[in-house]
A and B are shown apart, each in its own frame.
Chain A
């Protein structure tokens, strides 16, 4: 249960930050939420990863859906792997490491 709540919290905080600030505030959002929830390192990483990946994939997927995937098709050709997958990975790693750092900071 805590997992789900922390996940939703991370998504919401990151979403709010991204509306006003640059992309890397994902890491800050994940950091803060992980700090507050005081979860263990590994679960925090997974939650941070999933939250950021879901947030980014969600918007990228929605964008693809409403634009008939015109740009997505081109990006798939431009990038070495599927564009939504790589978006998830890049966002996920940023959120994951942000959350891990937050949880480890709490333990100091």
Chain B
């Protein structure tokens, strides 16, 4: 009996420990509760204070002493005596603040999320593998290896990250590792490439070739040109210097335009997110109060915690640079040094083409190209799955690029194989661009740095202490014949492949224009006299005009004016569209709620401010209207793309009898007027319903409900809802989950460069730290952190911690 009791108790104890030492999933995931909650090593150890620390650490791999001073925002200011130590320290401190995020994002880029969270991510991972993300990152590393400066930078950064990882025991691990019960792996050099290519995927992989192919078959060429024009005849191009393109452009042999005539039966897995875009501008000294140029940048991305950006100040021989860095990539990406400042917005260009491949047989070993059978290359991808067996996917590479869609992945027919050509698969030296930009002294250095930049194509704004301002649309752009690249291409012919690229010095750029400012906001890049054909998924239609309108009217500009402008919530789309819509409403037969909505809209000042009611009614109306008009797209059995908001409003105004205004599901024949009226009723109904569930007035900030989600599926405990104005079409382009991920204003004064910046998050990636979200409320109120930009550690004020790294030997 005694032995029986003892055995039972012993078994329960061991089973309990086993249970509490492992992760489980009973419908919802449960962490390893014992390990996780143990206050000596588990999650409680991740609780941090604002306690001021002065630390000295001996580390392997350093050449000399490095001093790191953290200011009151926990921004590291690194003072190093040579380049290797500088990037070593950047790797070390970035890892100490953002290790989990750096690794998670590189795992995501490489299609390795299933390893961490299980089979739910398999489709995502397969897509990443089939997109050739690792292949692309390896190309970036290959290029870096050939350049001693780039290689030293990447290697030193990696060493710093690894020194930090090696110093950790379980208690020190970032919280997310404990929650998911796994460990960081050693950092490798290819990971910087993975991060850059992940950005390339976010920004430059947008295309609609397959959707347009379907549209062409379903609606015909005339309708396609009307609904999806190459160039909406609106807006100020980024560079407008008609007649001044003096170079001799590269031309291709002319070919008769061959348009596809087929339906593509694939289900594209994800669409480029609406709201990914950016603003940048620079004003010359003739328009500012100090007489010095001012440069501004606010890239719009998905807003997450930890934030995509990490502010850092790097100081070493020949370099003194500060700004936003990407955790995982050495150097500063959008920032300033003591001579210049630069910033980026996404360049809208079609940098993806699709080729229909004809394989010889089902082995897919050979495919037809100009009458010959070419050999394909197969890569077997092992996707490890947490608590499961590995999944093996075979990816077939043609000379165009990998076959993304086939019968095993989002396709439906055995014979339809689609390979894609993507610029990010090419060799590239972006990391060298940033190395050089960080050290650039003038406009010439900036141009030279950009020559190394291939993808993701960006509009680089520039300003210098010398007083120059400039803009350059930089990337590697294929030379295209008119209409080429808009639709699916025939993979059996080489004639429509990318044969030549626009030489760097023929890219769209200019310096010191007469109007006294340069700007970009993802609009059409250039005036009509530029001698190359340009196409893209879409161009921004509103923000760019608002920016140029404001800048052209301003004078005696101060940095404060620029901050207010970045926070501008004027909705030009509503200003142009709302009167058109309101004029179509029959006001004689409105229900009381509709009557109230109508007068709120009528009185609205087109500002998407926190307290605005009109903004919410307009949004609700538009959200009802858009899918009603484009029900043909929404309900299509094959993939189609939506026309832009701008084109939609234009058609409502100019072609109210267009067949697309008819709602297919109803027997009546609707025109724009009926659809607009119906959408109005539905929009008001949606708002009334919202009011009834929330028990409050639909203030714009509440209705929009800006959400900054934690990278891990937006876990509510680590995410935040923010009261914030703005909308995708305003300069403050904040939608629910997207928006200004970084705001920067730099005044390039001769006596001293002054700069301000903010992002919706905090320097620490640890949800248990007071620095996890301490910039969030500054950001949401339009406030900025004035940056300390000192040349010696001793001049720093409000120091929160100091870390001295000492060589171990």
Contacts and interface: CB of A to CB of B under 8 A. Distances in A.
A90 B37 contact: yes
Contacts of A71: 43-44, 46-48, 767-768
Given A77-B716, A108-B2, A70 B770 contact: yes
A22 B178 CA distance: 14
Interface residues of B, number: 38
A10 interface: no
Contacts, number: 113
B717 interface: yes
B378 to A, nearest CB: 44
A16 B105 CA distance: 39
A63 B6 contact: no
A68 B245 CA distance: 62
A104 B6 contact: yes
Contact of A67 (B10, B17, B768): B768
Contact of B9 (A18, A86, A104): A104
Interface string A55-97: 0100110011011101110110110000100110011011001
Interface in B1-56: 2-3, 5-6, 9-10, 12-13, 16-17, 20-21, 33-35, 37-49
A80 to B, nearest CB: 9
A1 interface: no
A77 B6 contact: no
B715 interface: yes
A94 B17 contact: yes
Main secondary structure of the interface of B (DSSP, over half): helix
Given A56-B39, A60-B39, A63-B47, A94 B6 contact: no
Nearest to B773: A70
Given A70-B769, A70-B770, A75 B40 contact: no
A18 B40 contact: yes
Contacts of A64: 47
A60 B46 CA distance: 11
B44 A59 contact: yes
Interface residues of A, number: 38
A101 interface: yes
B367 interface: no
A79 to B, nearest CB: 8
B510 interface: no
B617 to A, nearest CB: 33
B19 to A, nearest CB: 10
B44 A63 contact: yes
A107 B10 CA distance: 13
Contacts of B42: 23
A51 interface: no
Contacts of A27: 13, 17
Contacts of B772: 70
Given A74-B717, A86-B37, A104-B2, A97 B13 contact: yes
B49 A67 contact: yes
**Which of A66, A90, A107, A108: most chain B Cβ within 10 A?**
A90
A78 B717 contact: yes
Contact of A63 (B5, B13, B17, B39): B39
Contacts of B20: 24, 90, 94
B605 to A, nearest CB: 38
Contacts of B9: 41, 97, 100-101, 104
Is chain A's binding surface mostly helix, strand, loop or mixed? helix
B44 A104 contact: no
B6 A101 contact: yes
Given A70-B768, A91-B37, A94-B34, A60 B6 contact: no
A45 to B, nearest CB: 9
Given A71-B44, A74-B768, A59 B17 contact: no
A75 B38 CA distance: 13
A107 B38 contact: no
Nearest to A45: B9
Contacts of A86: 33, 37
Interface in B662-720: 715-718
Nearest to A15: B40
A87 B41 contact: no
A74 B718 contact: yes
Given A64-B47, A86-B37, A107 B2 contact: yes
Most-contacted residue by chain A among B16, B38, B718 (CB, 10 A): B38
Q: Specify which of A56, A67, A108 lies most central, judged by the most chain B CB atoms within 10 Å of its CB.
A: A67
B49 A24 contact: no
Contacts of B48: 67, 70-71
A48 B535 CA distance: 72
Contacts of B33: 86, 90
A94 B16 contact: yes
B768 A107 contact: no
A18 B697 CA distance: 54
B47 A72 contact: yes
In the A-B complex, the 4 residue pairs with the closest CB atoms: A71-B768, A23-B38, A59-B39, A78-B717
Interface of B: 2-3, 5-6, 9-10, 12-13, 16-17, 20-21, 33-35, 37-49, 170, 715-718, 767-770, 772
25 contacts: A22-B35, A22-B41, A24-B17, A24-B20, A59-B40, A63-B44, A63-B47, A67-B48, A67-B49, A70-B769, A74-B767, A75-B43, A78-B715, A78-B718, A87-B44, A90-B33, A90-B34, A91-B38, A93-B16, A94-B16, A97-B12, A97-B13, A104-B9, A107-B2, A108-B2
